[in-house]
Structure 1
């Protein structure tokens, strides 16, 4: 890697031009200075910045830059000198992409979600990391061997992060009941959707544990929302753009709860990449926007819905007792077919775990079990 690396400075010294791996990159002197990976700038233990970056002089320049093995040797106009690993520059520069890095998109051709064994993931860090890596990459994991009791999944939740408690408690039943407070507690089919877009923050991961599934029907449906957004962008760019701009509200109310939030059906990150999707027909509340804007939105939503309900993108599966799905609620659309209780009981249990604890567990395990040290390297 280093043999082909070349560096040069702009005439004013405010930029470093790096040619590496067949690509040319321009790096701001200020960016390199505030991220200098030395003990004077960053705390070796926490990685947190020790200098006040906002106090660095705005006319800061690079006085010298050269390749030194696998690093850049840099000297700045404020007198600071450091060695900046080339690998860190490459890892931070993910390049152009429509989707956040580190994900594998899929459609109906997916042979099945990544699989994991419950007992192994509870007992062994390597098995847990393999499960979390698959969940991160595909947005879903299928876990088998979960104890067939009401809190059977708790031991694995405890390995990752705290259970998210809501107005429904912690782990809640998903089965048909009289006077249901939510349509999930009925026998009707459910359209592809994301859970709880009316919360702030929205729950990050859905844990769905099957205790019994003898009812006729009730198969789960899974759709990769990132793939659906990508297809919409390719086939109908105007619809894609509309769904990234209009932010409907979502509302849930009962006698003791009133929850509201808002957000676009397709959310982009700061680099224009799809980072989150939403769809929840049961709770969506679109504001009275100008009529022409509403017409565009309804047409775009119609096109998106046609995709996420298409057989082209949908994976079908029926959980067996002792199986559990873990689903990325920022990425996956999930639903189910209607079911009839004449065939038997359908009883699942559901809980939520947030994204920060899940991501933290994956990254710390990766750091402990491998030589990889930065989040970018494990994306």
Structure 2
């Protein structure tokens, strides 16, 4: 049963729905009205100016029946609400299980299935959303082999390095990724605005000795730090380093904390880039606290407790959430053979949009079949 009652001189409504009482203001309910004179039926965009609604708006009458709510407001407006839609809370955290080195089953997808079938593509994108990475097999081992699947999700994010770029050891490397050295766990390009959302790393050949990829769930690392040392966690959310990249034709700078929180205090983005970080000249006490916290975080993200090890085979591809995952690699020796990867970026908004639209379309298609 659903129970409703007014409160605060009818300026608020208490809704007891699914045994969870919620107190909602009249203004909040009014601006969320789905009525066609408030919300455009075609675009779903608001037609009224919410900021112009009267601050003393009251609820004249309210009734509920199961999952429906009817409200009559003091400005004469009447609205009918679907309570599931109205009171839906963010399930992002529940959709994203945190993992560590003990993760037994990595999310996987088949390139051709995802290319040809919307259900398989959605399954791939759901795995990427939940775990922050997915391992895709049977990718054509040509230089632009992953391009067709990117275009199913995309568009490809172009940077000063072009679109899909080589990741292999070269003379006069413009970036340390183009050398044989190992790379510490890091996020890509924190000096860009916006930071690329997803990294697509495609293996053409990997016969070199070493060169294994490492993955760490940055959300898990942040929560471990919060549990073990709340002061260190707080320091990494408050200090905003600058990240900088320069070459002969490019100068890129951006800033942000190593652990970024949303309005609910949940980690929504991590950064780590020892090669490009520049810490501002803060007061000495704050700097000392930051450096101690950064060291503890570094020890976490480089330790065995949280690190997964994968060695990509030709025709395999990792898609990684660059807001969530730290990735790196072991050093490699070319005496064992060639290691040639190709890498591209796809932004976060287009990836999320593709997933949510496919989820809606396939759910609608399933409901029509049932009907």
The match for 1:346 is 339
Alignment of 1:182-261 (within 5 A): 182-261=175-254
> Helix, strand or coil for the counterpart of 2:355?
helix
Specify the alignment match of 1:273 in structure 2: 266
In structure 2, the residue corresponding to 1:159 is in which secondary structure?
A: helix
Q: Does 1:155 align with 2:148?
A: yes
Q: Secondary structure of the residue that 2:125 maps to in structure 1? A: helix
Give the alignment partner of residue 174 of structure 2, picking from 163, 166, 181. Answer: 181
Q: 1:70 aligns with which of 56, 63, 67?
A: 67
TM-score by length of 1: 0.94
- Are residue 49 (structure 1) and residue 46 (structure 2) matched? yes
How many residues were matched structurally? 365
CA distance in 1, matches of 2:161, 2:178: 12
SS of match in other structure, 2:341? strand
SS in 2 for 1:261: strand
Contact 1:36 1:84 in 2 (8 A): yes
Residue number in structure 1 paired with 2:354: 361
Structure 2 residue 35 is the aligned partner of structure 1 residue 38: yes
Give the whole-Å Cα distance in 1 for the aligned partners of 2:93 and 2:335. Answer: 45
Deviation larger for 146-155 or 44-53: 44-53
TM-score of the aligned structures, taking structure 2 as reference length: 0.96
- Asked if residue 83 in structure 1 is aligned to residue 80 in structure 2, the reply is yes
Q: Distance in 2 between matches of 1:199 and 1:113?
A: 29
* Aligned pairs for 1:118-137 within 5 A: 118-137=111-130
DSSP-derived class of the 1:350 partner: strand
Encode CA deviations 1:336-359: one digit per residue, 9 max, x unaligned: 000000000000000000001000
Q: Secondary structure at the match of 1:333?
A: strand
Alignment of 1:295-310 (within 5 A): 295-310=288-303
Q: Quote how far apart the aligned CAs of 1:371 are.
A: 4.3
Q: 1:104 maps to which residue?
A: 97
* Deviations, residues 211-260 of structure 1 (Å, cap 9, x unaligned): 00000000000000000001000000000001000000000000000000
Compute the RMSD of aligned alpha carbons: 1.2
Any stretches of 5+ residues in structure 1 without a counterpart? 373-379
- CA shift for structure 1 position 32: 1.0
Matched, 1:327 2:320: yes
Superposed displacement of residue 101, structure 1 = 4.7
Structure 2 unaligned residues grouped into runs of 5+:
366-371
Q: CA separation in 1, counterparts of 2:186 and 2:41? A: 43
